[in-house]
């Protein structure tokens, strides 16, 4: 079965070799305060920095999931309140956790095919979702830049779960970028990569909200010494290093995904199929959500499954009337061509 599910997604083909290497080299049994562990962590951070072109002044630490990271950010970084822009299920869930932690959390929802505009807000933390995995939309760089230009000491936090590792990100336009590893990064679930700016670290230390073991400041402090707050997902950290090492430069990866996206769009137009989002500037390179009647969707999913291809179900509001195709780097061009060939007969 070849999976086109947008998370948990298809793993890198090399995964069995990497896992065997992790077992054989002994890293899974070393103490996480040891020099061996610190060297492995450091290598992974350096690989991430190099391949994804993370600016040198930004730091990196690891958590267990994007969901956990929503909460860590909301517990550690707002001075007064957080403001949330969203047009789909993941961004909305982040807002809902924000509201649970502070009744002052603000929501700026926008339509599926609507370009978001920057709102005036006195909130000091702005939360956005770079690729909304539930509906296949993403935020253009211009919007992220406008947010940055309008910000007045505000921190900007970005859920980049379906973007990191596939899209070249405008790092300096935001302060925190994070991604669970089981989507665009093509790794087994259970970990999240968090990239943070000096301003985010400074805010965390100033507020020093250390009431939680998962405080942002504690994670930064440990990361500065190639350490972690707790015994981490050592295998996960090791695998990110391996995946980055074989990924190649992010600009090349992004160009490859853009070309595949273009091929898919030509194909969809030819078939007369349409994406949920009709605004071309907002259609994500990494996740496509194709809309249609629920009966037809069911048929497409079952026919493809019979032929050995797993499509993604719709999500949230769009559960019944869409299916999703991940365009993540771990899946090869030839597999996309085979899926297209099969779909062309439906
Ligand atoms: C999948 C996803 C999440 C949740 O990831 P977990 O690893 O389950 O916490 C959060 N945000 C986005 C954009 C996602 O696609």
pLDDT in tens, 307-324: 999 999 999 999 999 999
- Using the mean position of ligand 1's atoms as its centre, give its distance from the Cα of residue 89 in Å: 10
Q: Same structural domain for residues 64 and 185?
A: yes
Question: Which of 94, 157, 161, 327 best tests ligand 1's pocket when mutated (most atoms within 8 Å of CB)?
Answer: 161
Q: Same structural domain for residues 29 and 83?
A: yes
Among 203, 228, 247, the domain-final residue is 247
Q: Ligand 1 in contact with 7 (CB < 6 A)?
A: yes
Atom of ligand 1 nearest to the CA of 192: 7
CATH code at position 307: 3.90.1150.10
Atom of ligand 1 nearest to the CA of 131: 13
Q: Same structural domain for residues 286 and 272?
A: yes
Among 202, 231, 247, the domain-final residue is 247
Residue with the smallest CA separation from ligand 1 atom 2 is 161
Q: How far apart are CA 17 and CA 207, in angstroms?
A: 44
Specify whether the CB–CB gap between 184 and 329 falls below 8 A: yes
Q: What is the mean pLDDT of the chain?
A: 97
Q: Same structural domain for residues 233 and 255?
A: no
| pLDDT value of position 339 | 97
How remote is the C-alpha of 288 from its chain's centroid? 15
Atom of ligand 1 nearest to the CA of 160: 13
The answer on pLDDT for 82 being more than 90 is yes
| Residue 122: Cβ-neighbour burial (10 angstroms; 0-12, 13-18, 19+) | exposed
Closest CA to 195 of 37, 32, 73, 12: 73
What mean pLDDT comes out for the span 186-214? 94
Q: Ligand 1 in contact with 65 (CB < 6 A)?
A: yes
Q: What domain range is 305 assigned to? A: 2-8+250-343
How many distinct structural domains can be found in the chain? 2
Q: Which tens digit of pLDDT belongs to each residue from 151-194?
A: 989 999 999 999 999 999 999 999 999 999 999 999 999 999 99
Question: Which of 67, 139, 314, 316 best tests ligand 1's pocket when mutated (most atoms within 8 Å of CB)?
Answer: 67
- Using the mean position of ligand 1's atoms as its centre, give its distance from the Cα of residue 161 in Å: 6
Q: Which tens digit of pLDDT belongs to each residue from 84-126?
A: 999 999 999 999 999 999 999 999 999 999 999 999 999 999 9
Atom of ligand 1 nearest to the CA of 189: 7
- Using the mean position of ligand 1's atoms as its centre, give its distance from the Cα of residue 70 in Å: 10
Specify whether the CB–CB gap between 243 and 51 falls below 8 A: no
Vertex 37: Cα angle to 32 and 42 (nearest 5):
125
pTM score, whole prediction: 0.98
């Amino acid at each position: 079965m070849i999976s086109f599910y947008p998370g948990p997604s298809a793993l890198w083909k090399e995964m069995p070799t990497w896992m065997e290497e992790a077992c054989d080299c002994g890293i899974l049994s070393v103490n996480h305060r040891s020099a061996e562990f610190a060297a492995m962590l450091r290598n992974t951070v350096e690989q991430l920095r190099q391949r994804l072109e993370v600016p040198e002044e930004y730091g990196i630490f690891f958590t267990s999931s994007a969901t956990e990271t929503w909460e860590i950010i909301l517990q550690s970084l707002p001075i007064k309140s957080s403001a949330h822009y969203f047009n789909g299920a993941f961004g909305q869930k982040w807002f809902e956790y924000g509201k649970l932690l502070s009744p002052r959390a603000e929501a700026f929802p926008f339509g599926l095919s609507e370009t978001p505009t920057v709102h005036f807000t006195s909130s000091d933390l702005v939360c956005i979702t770079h690729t909304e995995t539930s509906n296949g939309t993403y935020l253009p760089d211009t919007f992220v830049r406008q947010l940055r230009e309008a910000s007045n000491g505000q921190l900007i936090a970005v859920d980049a779960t379906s973007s990191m590792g596939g899209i070249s990100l405008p790092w300096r336009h935001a302060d925190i970028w994070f991604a669970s590893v089981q989507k665009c990064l093509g790794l087994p679930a259970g970990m999240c990569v968090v990239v943070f700016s000096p301003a985010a670290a400074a805010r965390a230390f100033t507020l020093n909200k250390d009431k939680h073991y998962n405080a942002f400041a504690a994670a930064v402090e440990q990361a500065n010494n190639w350490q972690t707050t707790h015994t981490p997902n050592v295998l996960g950290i090791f695998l990110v290093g391996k995946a980055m090492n074989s990924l190649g430069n992010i600009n090349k990866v992004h160009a490859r995904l853009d070309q595949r996206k273009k091929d898919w769009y030509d194909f969809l137009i030819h078939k007369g199929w349409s994406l949920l989002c009709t605004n071309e500037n907002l259609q994500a390179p990494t996740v496509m959500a194709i809309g249609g009647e629920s009966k037809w969707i069911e048929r497409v999913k079952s026919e493809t499954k019979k032929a050995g291809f797993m499509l993604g179900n719709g999500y949230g509001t769009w559960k019944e009337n869409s299916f999703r195709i991940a365009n993540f780097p771990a899946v090869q061009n030839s597999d996309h061509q085979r899926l297209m060939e099969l779909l062309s007969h439906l």
